[in-house]
Amino acid sequence: MNKNENSTINKNFDLCPNRREESESNKWRFYEDDVLPLWIADMDCICDPEIMKALHQRIDHGVFGYGRAKPELYQIICDHMESKYQWKIQPEWIKFTAGVVIGFNQIIDALAKPGDSVLIQTPAYPPILNAASNRKISCCQVPLSCSSSKYEIDFDKFEESILPGTKFFILCNPQNPSGRVFTRPELEKIAAICLKHNLIIISDEIHKDILFDDHKHIPIASISDEIAKRTVTLSAASKTYNIAGLKCSYAIIPDPNLRDAFDIGGEGLVDSVNVLGLTATEAAYRYGDTWLKDTIAYLQSNRDYLFRQLEDFDGIQSIKPEGTFLAWLNCQGLNINQNPSEFFLTNAKVALNDGATFGKEYESYVRLNFGCSRKTLELALERMKSALENYQEVSKE
């Protein structure tokens, strides 16, 4: 197959303005000017014009005092969860917070006692990996098992990892960095184990809307009322609609005691969220379906292009993500005797996330963000390929 086939045009990606020179993008400004940044998880893509229109109107209002979400926004989130994920929620279950990461730290802060621990699955998004130590409690890590075609949950290992003090399980679904979208039977089994061991489930579902092929997202709390009662679901429009810098996320907490705990955990830290974030979230969920459909099509074609190209990289193995715009690459076979993210940064001028930050046993991995223009992706892969070729040439000498 021609490796360049299946290129989709999307002006939001293809005409994305220069983020390094014209904005304060962390992704583009963290590294030197000659580096292509395929690391931190936001997209090089203009957001939905409907969101921009709503933001312009809000800016023209001219007053930016502390915010309080309008009742319409609570209802819009309820409608979003019901229409997309068949989960019927109540407006009073929703709490806004300035970020999903803040949200899971907030609930752990409120409820953790000395001797408690947090169960997580690895490889894990670094703030999930660090959530327990931030709160000075311990962390039980259970690795996802990896076959040639899938990351899967080893349910026996999962249950064995629960210790007497384990109080919380942080689920990340869709999973960052593997891109797994867990199925209903998998979620039902996890839920049953959490119920048996009386764990509070903190479910990070920030990537829920970016799904490929026929994968479906199921909020774990939607499995049963019993599970909903012990679950804090965290999500946002931020990742999906590329508005993460506006710092507006939400928690859905059916149980009133957990809701109070969430408020207590936020005391002195989170009062109101960014008013522009509230406006953007409302516009995204009201009007953003068409933009999102086009965005997913572009991301999927980038994903497929990436995986066709990877066939030519001897020594890199990866499993196609089912959702997210992240690819998790095992570089063990490259035999470069060096941390692969450092290798690619130095020799290819491509910034990828270091696998070791997702769990210490993943130092031979990198995470690649393909939420960029096809041109950027092509250039990054060309640079990575020639860096490896040069390395092999030099090592032969």
Ligand X SMILES: Cc1ncc(COP(=O)(O)O)c(C=O)c1O
Residue owning tokens 């109101």: 272
Q: What single DSSP character describes residue 313?
A: S
Pick one of 238, 309, 318, 376: the residue that binds ligand X (CB under 6 A): 238
Which single residue brings its beta carbon nearest to ligand X? 99
Kindly write down the DSSP assignment for every residue of 22-84, as one continuous string. Answer: HS--HHHHSS-TT-EE--SS--SSPPPHHHHHHHHHHHHH---------HHHHHHHHHHHHHH
Residue whose CB is less far from ligand X, 153 or 334: 153
Is the peptide bond prior to 177 cis by the omega test (within 30 degrees of 0)? yes
Q: Please, are residues 208 and 180 in contact by the beta-carbon 8 Å criterion?
A: no
Binding part of the chain for ligand X, among 4-12, 93-101, 271-279, 309-317 by CB under 6 A, reads 93-101
Pick one of 76, 172, 246, 299: the residue that binds ligand X (CB under 6 A): 172
Binding part of the chain for ligand X, among 96-104, 144-152, 211-219, 385-393 by CB under 6 A, reads 96-104
The tokens for 121 are 């699955």
d(Cα 161, Cα 1) in Å, to the nearest integer?
A: 45
Pick one of 38, 101, 187, 237: the residue that binds ligand X (CB under 6 A): 101
Q: DSSP 3-state assignment of 11?
A: helix
Pick one of 81, 236, 243, 380: the residue that binds ligand X (CB under 6 A): 236
Distances from the Cα of 361 to the Cα of 84, 141, 343, 355, 365, angstroms: 36, 11, 18, 8, 9
Helices (H), 201-288: 225-228, 256-266, 275-287
Residue whose CB is less far from ligand X, 352 or 387: 352
Residue whose CB is less far from ligand X, 262 or 343: 262
Distances from the Cα of 254 to the Cα of 74, 141, 237, angstroms: 14, 27, 20
Q: Please, are residues 348 and 386 in contact by the beta-carbon 8 Å criterion?
A: yes
- Under rule CB under 6 A, which residues in 16-55 are in contact with ligand X? 41
Residue owning tokens 């489930």: 201
User: What is the size of the binding site for ligand X (CB under 6 A)?
Assistant: 13
- 286: burial class by Cβ within 10 Å (0-12, 13-18, 19+)? middle
Residue whose CB is less far from ligand X, 46 or 172: 172
Binding part of the chain for ligand X, among 56-64, 138-146, 236-244, 369-377 by CB under 6 A, reads 236-244
109 contributes a contact to ligand X by CB under 6 A: no
Binding part of the chain for ligand X, among 51-59, 99-107, 352-360, 370-378 by CB under 6 A, reads 99-107
CB of 28 vs ligand X, minimal distance in Å:
16
129 contributes a contact to ligand X by CB under 6 A: no
CB of 39 vs ligand X, minimal distance in Å:
10
Measured between its terminal Cα atoms, the distance across the chain in Å is 34
Pick one of 170, 181, 206, 380: the residue that binds ligand X (CB under 6 A): 206
Pick one of 27, 37, 78, 99: the residue that binds ligand X (CB under 6 A): 99
Binding stretches for ligand X (CB under 6 A): 41, 99-101, 125, 172, 176, 204, 206, 236, 238, 244, 249
